A and B are shown apart, each in its own frame.
Chain A
């Protein structure tokens, strides 16, 4: 099942790429159908893990990645259906396929949950942060396409992207919406995480990870950096009258920081979040 899910993501990425190149309706419908299939298989996968473990299967970076991919796929499908715009799929689905490779290769059954995570706040904290990351991923891809299209129009060379992407205005709106949603959920996730870390249960825990919960822990620190970055983006747009192009760049760069935090920091550097 993990491999089937991964295979569906790969197939949908290929179909979205083909649709982006050829722009015919049939390949577009096939791409959407494959992505829906991947999401359904993935939902099943996560549901099974949930049943097996008895809690939200998001303990550990690998499980979190799988959950993140699932959320991103859902968020993208929602965007595609509401905007009737498939072009972005060619940028999102390769990311989905690439990230899903990790859980596909390392799909160990969920073990027992560490005692310190046995809190109702656990699910809320993790899922809101992951949902924020999914929104930022979407914003990043939208930002990249904005910059590509912007460059073509500025350079007066109307080619590949001009024929395939929606207008700059639409891309900008989609970008800002994704960033606002992401920022809101990241704020919720961080605040809940902080409140939870300060509760007596965690403070009293002998778990070394609970002891490492501090602003200086790489994972928490980089998360706060990305929160500051997105806060600045929203502020710059509103108060400093930064244009759409700069917002697009910030979205593209912001997700690099998020991804950095998610993968290398999550796997190798953090001492507080290595569950």
Chain B
């Protein structure tokens, strides 16, 4: 069995194409149904976000299945093959694990370290299991990816710090005021940035957003769009005294809020902290106002600097995150390889057990004089000897470093013990599910008394 991944992501395709191949348009369930009808796909998971549309597959023949999947993608999304083909990337086995782990860790995201993606990967997996589309390979793969996501989040600083100007403003406000509910926000001006920051603040349940602009109409327009309240420009001083957060974004050429004006407002508000976010260019607030005791003044450049710093800090954490990914990929690959040895291990054990039973049967006559407990003991001892003999070969087989070694070992064992390839193949199919329970070598010696 092999892993295979066909997909389109923000790295390989423009947004126009990504929109057209978004599985969410027709529903992931429909995609699973369509995939189930195609041949050769033993297990499938469909991962669909606004930045990527990917199909994870476990199959026996990756070459043929890849072609089949490409045809499916084109047909399902009704995009001509020739148009889609240059943007599709294809990965197999270890590459698939590495890719999914990086995705789950947020390393492949547009904004590195963003936290939503892990949830999206979990949803994709849940949808596939609900449709009974996963098996041992993908189950293990996706569970490992959740571990990677969690480890990267808890052991590195990859997801820390705001990486957008609006969110940086919100996180600052939270660091000053703690809980933002119950606070009033005053917006001066009616620009797009003011609106964006106000929307972010509203998500924090602020009590009231008040908008003032040079004309009452434009203030009313913005207020109605964000669910706030418009006030006359002449009422700004009162608004200043009653708000904890002020966002200024007017087009004025001279400072609207002078140091003296803010000082007067601070007196009226009993020296409660005031957070002033000046996102206007040229600036709306006199820089000297930031020196007042409980006034926290940030302009657009300050916020950009914070974002920049946070991005740099995330970049510094990349290496640690990548190390976690490589570690987990190595573990998964090891497991994948050990599965290649399973048929041989099973056949070998079967062979040994057959010999043991045959010998016991042959000696039946000689043993018949023994009391039942002694007979049981003989059975137990012979079983133990077989287990002990098989322990090292089993471990060695499962720990084989590469596919070649597994094949060589299997080949040698087949010849030396006359195991027969057909036999091993059949058993492999039978063992597809729940190979943990029958894991050869792990139950050895359990009956020793």
Residues of A within 8 A of B (CB): 24-25, 149, 153-154, 156, 158, 162-163, 166-170, 241-246
Contact of B294 among A25, A149, A163, A244 (CB under 8 A): A244
Which residues of A lie under 8 Å from residue B294 when comparing CB positions?
Answer: 243-245
Interface SS majority for chain A = helix
Evaluate contact between A156 and B298: CB separation under 8 angstroms: yes
Evaluate contact between A170 and B178: CB separation under 8 angstroms: yes
Stretch binding the partner chain, chosen from B75-83, B169-177, B388-396, B425-433: B169-177
A80 CB to nearest B CB, Å: 17
CA–CA, A158 to B176, complex, Å? 12
Considering only residues 136-191 of chain B, those with a C-beta below 8 Å from chain A are 154-155, 160-161, 172, 174-179
| Mask of B298-320 contacts with A, CB within 8 angstroms, 1/0 | 10001001100100000000000
User: Which 8 residue pairs spanning A and B have beta carbons closest together?
Assistant: A167-B178, A169-B178, A243-B271, A170-B178, A243-B294, A156-B302, A241-B270, A169-B177
Evaluate contact between B178 and A24: CB separation under 8 angstroms: no
Which residues of A lie under 8 Å from residue B273 when comparing CB positions?
Answer: 168-169, 243-244
| In the complex, residue of chain B having the shortest beta-carbon distance to the beta carbon of A163 | B160
Which residues of B lie under 8 Å from residue A153 when comparing CB positions?
Answer: 172, 175-176, 296
CA–CA, A163 to B302, complex, Å? 17
Which residues of B lie under 8 Å from residue A243 when comparing CB positions?
Answer: 271, 273, 293-294
Which residues of A lie under 8 Å from residue B155 when comparing CB positions?
Answer: 24
CA–CA, A170 to B330, complex, Å? 45
CA–CA, A71 to B273, complex, Å? 33
| In the complex, residue of chain B having the shortest beta-carbon distance to the beta carbon of A237 | B271
Evaluate contact between B177 and A156: CB separation under 8 angstroms: no
Query: What are 17 A-B pairs with beta-carbon distances under 8 A?
Result: A24-B155, A154-B290, A156-B298, A156-B302, A156-B305, A156-B306, A158-B172, A158-B306, A163-B160, A167-B174, A169-B177, A169-B273, A241-B271, A242-B271, A243-B271, A243-B273, A244-B273
A148 CB to nearest B CB, Å: 13
Count contacts on B: residues with CB < 8 A to the other chain: 23
| In the complex, residue of chain A having the shortest beta-carbon distance to the beta carbon of B303 | A156
Contact of B175 among A168, A241, A245 (CB under 8 A): A168
Which residues of A lie under 8 Å from residue B271 when comparing CB positions?
Answer: 241-243
Considering only residues 292-346 of chain B, those with a C-beta below 8 Å from chain A are 293-294, 296, 298, 302, 305-306, 309
A19 CB to nearest B CB, Å: 13
| In the complex, residue of chain A having the shortest beta-carbon distance to the beta carbon of B177 | A169
Evaluate contact between B176 and A168: CB separation under 8 angstroms: yes
CA–CA, A149 to B174, complex, Å? 13
A240 CB to nearest B CB, Å: 10
Which residues of B lie under 8 Å from residue A24 when comparing CB positions?
Answer: 154-155
Which residues of A lie under 8 Å from residue B175 when comparing CB positions?
Answer: 149, 153, 158, 162, 167-168
A51 CB to nearest B CB, Å: 45
| Mask of B357-371 contacts with A, CB within 8 angstroms, 1/0 | 000000000000000
CA–CA, A25 to B293, complex, Å? 35
CA–CA, A219 to B271, complex, Å? 36
Evaluate contact between B309 and A158: CB separation under 8 angstroms: yes
CA–CA, A47 to B146, complex, Å? 50
CA–CA, A242 to B270, complex, Å? 8
CA–CA, A241 to B280, complex, Å? 32
| In the complex, residue of chain A having the shortest beta-carbon distance to the beta carbon of B299 | A156
